[in-house]
Chains A and B, each alone.
Chain A
Amino acid sequence: MAEMVTLTIDGLKIHASAGTTILEAATDSNIYIPHLCSNEELAPYGACRLCMVEIIQGERARLVASCIFEVADGLEVKTNTERVLNVRRLVIELLLSRNNKHPALRKIADELGVKETRFPVEQKGCILCGQCVRTCREVVGVSAIGFSGRGITRKIATPFMESPPDCIACGSCVYVCPVQVIPMKEENGVRTIMKYDYPMQKCRKCGQYFAPKKQLEYFSKITNLPLEHFETCVGCR
C-alpha cells in the first residue's frame, strides 16, 4: 500500500497517496482545475499548460503543471492566484486563436472571463494537446500517427504525410480528441479517418459491416488467433 501524504489545496487539507499528481488529488476532492492535454489513461504530458498551479515549498513560490507534479507531504497548493489566472488566460486566448469555435475551449474561456481572443484567428482546429498521438502509442500500441514539424509548424502527421501503414482504423484518436477535429465517416463499407480509407469487414453471420479489416487483422496478430475468429460481429458471436 502506497504511503499517504497530506497537502493543502486552496486551504483545504487533503490526503493522497504518494505518486499521485496534484491534478489527480484535486479532482478526487472535487477541486476543479482546467486541463486539456491530460487523460487518466495516458502518461502525463504537461503541454497545454492550463492546469498550472502555484505551489509554495519553504520560501519559494513557483508555478508547476499540476498534471505532472506529484503530491508531497506539507505541499501548499493554490489553484487560482493572479499569476495562475494570467497563464490560463493567455493559454486559452492562444488556443482560441487556433480554434475559436469548439465548446470545450469556449467553456474554459468563459470560466476565466475571457470573451474573445485578442490574437488574429487562424482556424487550425487542432490544439496540439497530443492526446491522439499518445493514445495511439500508449493505449492502442501502434504509433500510427505522430508529430511533425518544430515550433509553430508542429502538426499531427502520418509518416511522410501518406496513408499510415500501421493504422488499424480503430478510431481511438477520433474519440479522444477534446476538440473533435479528426474526421471519421463510414459509407458503403468503408471507414474514412482523416482522408484515408479503410475497408470494413462484413459479419459472417448477419452481413453487417462492423469493424475495419485492418483492426481485425491486428487483433489476429496480437492474439495469435486465426482471422476467421474475429470476422463475426459481437452481436452474432
Chain B
Amino acid sequence: MKKVKTAQELKILQEEIQNSRDPEKPCITICAGTGCLTYGSQKLVDNFKAEIEKQNLNGKVEVRASGCHGFCERGPLVVINPQKILYQRVGLDDAEEIIKETILNGQIIDRLLYIDPVTQEKILHEDEIPFYKRQMRLVFGMNGNIDPNSLEDYLAIGGYSALIKVLNGMEPETIIEEIKTAGLRGRGGGGFSMGLKWEATRNAPGLPKYIICNADEGDPGAYMDRSLLEGNPYSILEGMLIGAYAIGSNTGYIYVRNEYPLAVKNITIAVEKARKLGILGENILGSGFDFDVVIVRGGGAFVCGEETALIASIEGRSGEPRAKYVFPAERGLYNKPTNINNVETWANVPLVINKGAEWYRSIGTENSKGTKIFALVGKINNTGLVEVPMGITLREIVYDIGGGIPKGRKFKAVQVGGPSGGCIPESHLDLQVDFDALSKVGSMMGSGGMIVMDDRTCMVDVALYFLKFLEEESCGKCTPCREGVHQMRLILERITEGNGKEEDLKTIEWMGKAIIDGSLCGLGGTAPNPVLTTLRYFRDEYEAHIKGKTCPAGVCKALITYTIDPDLCTGCMVCARICPVEAATGEKKEVHFIDQNKCIKCGACFESCKFDAVKVS
C-alpha cells in the first residue's frame, strides 16, 4: 500500500479494499491469541496453510490467524466464514479433515461442535452459543474478523472511518464534547471521565503535550488489554490519534508490560505499517497534524500500572508513584500536560466517533455508559473474555454467559477488581455491574478481572493471596503500604496456620482503614479491600480459623487432614498411584490408608477419588 496523503485518499483505499473482498469467499479463522497459542494453535494455522497449498486452494480459500475470540475455555477455536460455523477444541491435526469435509464437501464435523450443557444440543453457529449470545461484543468482537498484523483487514472492516470523520472537519472541542457526552469512563479501574481528562489536558498550559496508553495490565487473572492489543492494535492507534488531535499532542507513548511479547510484537508491527501508510508521522492525511508513537516496555512491576509510577518509568526513573495533588493532565510526563488512558478506553473512542455519543449513551446505566470487557476466570465453566453492556447483573454473567460453576460445586463469591477490589457473595449476585453499584458494596469495577470462587475456596486464603501479591509489588516508598501490607500479610498467614489471635480481626480492621487513608497511591490505598470485603461477608470463616482452628472450605493446609472413609473406599489404588509422596497406600481391592506423617496436603487424592472416599476435615 502506498502512502495516503489526504482523508479522501484513505477513504478511497478503504472502499477499494472493501470492494475487493468477496464476503462469500470461504475464510478459515483460527484464534491465535496467546491463550489458544498455548494450546498449539500456531501449528494448526500452519497445518491449514499447508493443506490449502496441497489441495490447490490458494486464492480460493482464506486462512486467517486472528487475535483472541474470547471463548478461551473451548480453544483452539476455528470459525468457518461466511457461515460463522464454530469448531471448538480443534485438534492440531484436524486441519485436513476440516478442509476436506467442511470447506470442500460442505459437511459439518459434529464432534467439533459446541454442545449446549442444558439442552444437550449441538450448536452450529458462533452467535447461537449462549456464551456469545448474551454478550455485546462491540469492541472485542472485531478480533475475529481481522489478522492483527494486516492493516488492510482493519480497513476492510471500516477501520479508520473515525479518523477520516475527525480530520474531515471535526474541531478538537467538538470531539472532546462528543466523548464527554457519550459518558465514556476509564476502563482501567479509575472510571474517570475520558472527556474531562482530555479537556483538562488540552486546557493546561505548557507544551508539548503527551498522551499515553497504559497497557501495563497487572491484575492477576486479567487479560482483556493483552487480547485487545494483540488482536486489534489498530483500534488503539486510531483512538490515540483522535485523542491526540483533540488534545493537541504530537507524541503518544504506549507503555506495555514486557510480559506480553505478542502484544509488543503486534503493536510494533501496527505502528510501522501505520507509518508506512502515512497515518502516523507528519502532516497526517494533509491535516497539518503530526503524531507519532513511542513503544515503551515495562520492566516487571505491577505498581507501574499506576499512572505517576508509569510516567516515572518512561522517564527512566524508578517506578515510584508521587502524590496526585496535581494531576498528570497539568504536570505529567517530563512535567508537561499528559493524558493517560487505558487500552480498552482508547479502543472505545473510534466507536463513539463513528456511531455518535447519543448512540453510545443508549447502552449501559445512568452513570456507566457503553460496554465493559471482563476476564471471567476461576471456578467457572466458560472461562474467557466477555464483553457486556454496563448494567448487566453478576448473575447473568456468571450463569447465563459463564455457564455456572463446574463439577456441580456451589457458587461462593466473585472477586471483581483484582487486588484493589472486593469479593461479592451470592446475596449480591443480582447487582448490576457498573462503576457505582460495585463501589457501594465495597468492591470496584477495576480493570475487568472477575474471579469466580466455589465452596472449596477459603476466603481467608484468598485475602492472603492478594496481600502476598501486593506486598511483593509495593514500591516501598510509603510506610502504610510497605510496612502495613507486610504486617497484615503476617497476621493473615498466622490465621491460616492456626495461630490466629482474638484481637487479630480488630487489628486488621483498624489497619485497613489507616492504610487506605494513609497510603501515597492507589496500590496501598486499595490494598486492604480484599481483606475487608472478605471480612465483611465471610466473617464466620475468619472466626472458624481463629477460634475453631479449622478451615471450613478445607483449604488451609495446616488446618486440614485428608482421611479415607473405609466404607466408601473400593481399593482402586488411584490415590496411591497419584500421591506424590507415597502417603496414600493400600493393596488392590483393600481399604486404603493415608499416613499423616507423610501427607503434604496437596489434595491430589481428594481430586482423583471417583468414589468420594477421601474426606477433608
Contacts and interface: CB of A to CB of B under 8 A. Distances in A.
Contacts of A151: 471-476, 482, 486
Given A90-B484, A91-B518, A151-B482, 9 more contacts: A46-B322, A46-B520, A49-B520, A86-B510, A86-B517, A87-B480, A128-B479, A150-B473, A151-B486
Contact of A87 (B472, B475, B507, B517): B517
A154 B518 contact: no
B420 interface: no
A91 to B, nearest CB: 5
A133 to B, nearest CB: 11
B313 to A, nearest CB: 13
A68 interface: yes
Interface in B578-593: none
Interface string B566-583: 000000000000000000
Interface string A42-73: 00001111101000000000011100111000
B513 to A, nearest CB: 6
Interface in B431-477: 471-477
Nearest to A86: B514
Interface in A110-162: 118-120, 127-128, 130, 147, 149-154
Interface class of chain B by DSSP? helix
Contacts of B62: none
Interface stretch (A9-17, A92-100, A196-204): A92-100
Contact of A49 (B301, B471, B478, B511): B478
Instruction: List the 6 closest A-B pairs by CB distance, nearest first.
Output: A154-B476, A94-B483, A90-B514, A87-B518, A151-B474, A151-B476
A91 B482 CA distance: 11
Nearest to A52: B518
A74 to B, nearest CB: 16
5 contacts: A46-B323, A86-B510, A94-B480, A147-B318, A150-B475
Contacts of B479: 47-50, 91, 94-95, 127-128
Interface of A: 46-50, 52, 63-65, 68-70, 83, 86-87, 89-91, 94-95, 97-98, 118-120, 127-128, 130, 147, 149-154
Nearest to A98: B483
A65 B323 contact: yes
A149 B483 CA distance: 14
Contact of A89 (B476, B482, B514): B514
A169 B482 CA distance: 30
B510 A90 contact: yes
B515 interface: yes
A68 B323 contact: yes
Contacts of A98: 483
Contacts of A89: 514
Contacts of B483: 94-95, 97-98, 152
Given A91-B479, A151-B482, A69 B325 contact: yes
A87 B482 contact: no
Interface string B478-492: 111011101100100
A47 B507 contact: no
B520 A94 contact: no
Contacts of B471: 151-152
A128 B507 contact: no
Nearest to B483: A94
Nearest to B476: A154
B519 interface: yes
Nearest to A55: B325
A168 to B, nearest CB: 24
Contacts of A119: 487, 490
Nearest to B524: A49
A230 B484 CA distance: 48
Interface of B: 301, 303, 318, 322-323, 325, 471-480, 482-484, 486-487, 490, 507, 510-511, 513-515, 517-520
B517 A152 contact: no
B515 A153 contact: no
A169 B474 CA distance: 32
A97 B490 CA distance: 13
B326 to A, nearest CB: 9
Given A46-B323, A94-B480, A119-B487, A152 B474 contact: yes
B480 A90 contact: yes
A153 to B, nearest CB: 7
A46 B478 contact: yes
Contacts of A68: 323, 325
B476 A90 contact: no
A50 B517 CA distance: 12
A83 B520 CA distance: 15
A83 B517 contact: yes
A52 B507 CA distance: 21
A68 to B, nearest CB: 5
Nearest to B326: A70
Nearest to B518: A87
A90 to B, nearest CB: 4
B482 A154 contact: yes
Contacts of B507: 118
Nearest to B512: A90
Among A49, A70, A119, residue most surrounded by chain B Cβ atoms (within 10 Å): A49
Contacts of B484: 90, 94
Contacts of A90: 480, 484, 510-511, 514-515, 518
Nearest to A64: B325
Contacts of A70: 325
A47 B487 contact: no
B585 to A, nearest CB: 41
Given A90-B510, A94-B484, A150-B301, A63 B476 contact: no
Contacts of A50: 479
Nearest to A84: B517
A147 to B, nearest CB: 7
A47 B473 contact: no
B476 A149 contact: yes
Contacts of A63: 517-518
Contacts of B480: 49, 87, 90-91, 94
A94 B517 contact: no
A150 B474 contact: yes
Contacts of A87: 480, 514, 517-518
B503 to A, nearest CB: 8
B38 to A, nearest CB: 29
A98 B520 CA distance: 20
